Amino acid sequence: MTSAEDRLAITDLLYRYAELIDAGDFDGVGALLARSTFGGSGSGSVSGAQNIANLFAMTTRRYPDHGNTPRTRHLVLNPIVESDGVGVAASRSTFCVVQDTETVPIQPIVVGRYYDRFGRDDAGWYFTERKVEIQMIGDVSAHLMVDPKAFEG
């Protein structure tokens, strides 16, 4: 059984990821996921803080005139957290990315699910794995610098 305190700490990690991405802080994303593997269903995975930060820097467009952010809001919804009670947990959640730029009016651009695993040590909970499943995709031309179809499973 997962305690309320554990659930809150884990959902805070989910929300922290969204906050860092939307701030364009890819080094922060790398640090948050430093002890994990990160990937999608068709893209394989990467690990290590610098590799994860580099992945985001190479694939995600940032706008210098808007604080070097991607001009997005990652909304993490319906998190379900399950734990074995001894320092290992998993969660699944839905996400919706909304973007507003000079060329793309405010709209949802991608919807999917996160499948996460966590560990816990004396410092608290941390990601050990993040899998991203894209379920719906709209106009990501102002968001990504790669073709998302190249990563489909």
Local structure of 83: helix, strand or coil: strand
Q: What domain range is 10 assigned to?
A: 4-151
pLDDT over 80 at 2, yes or no: no
Structure tokens at 29: 């994303």
Distance CA 46, CA 76 (A): 22
> What pTM does this model have?
0.93
Taking only the tens place, the pLDDT of each residue in 20-42 is: 999 999 999 999 999 999 998 76
Helix, strand, coil % over all residues of the chain, rounded to 5: 30, 40, 30
Do 57 and 48 form a contact (C-beta atoms < 8 A)?
no
- In the chain, the number of structural domains is 1
Phi/psi for 58 (5° steps) reads -80, -20
Do 69 and 63 form a contact (C-beta atoms < 8 A)?
yes
What integer pLDDT is reported at residue 84 of this predicted model?
Answer: 77
Q: What is the CATH number of the domain that holds 45?
A: 3.10.450.50
What percentage of the chain carries pLDDT values higher than 90? 84
Confidence of residue 60 (pLDDT cuts 50, 70, 90): very high
Q: Which amino acid is at 15?
A: Y
Confidence of residue 151 (pLDDT cuts 50, 70, 90): low
Pairing mode, strands 88-99 and 44-47: unpaired
Taking only the tens place, the pLDDT of each residue in 69-120 is: 999 999 999 999 998 778 899 999 999 999 999 998 999 999 999 999 999 9
Nearest residue to 34 via CA among 98, 106, 104, 123: 123
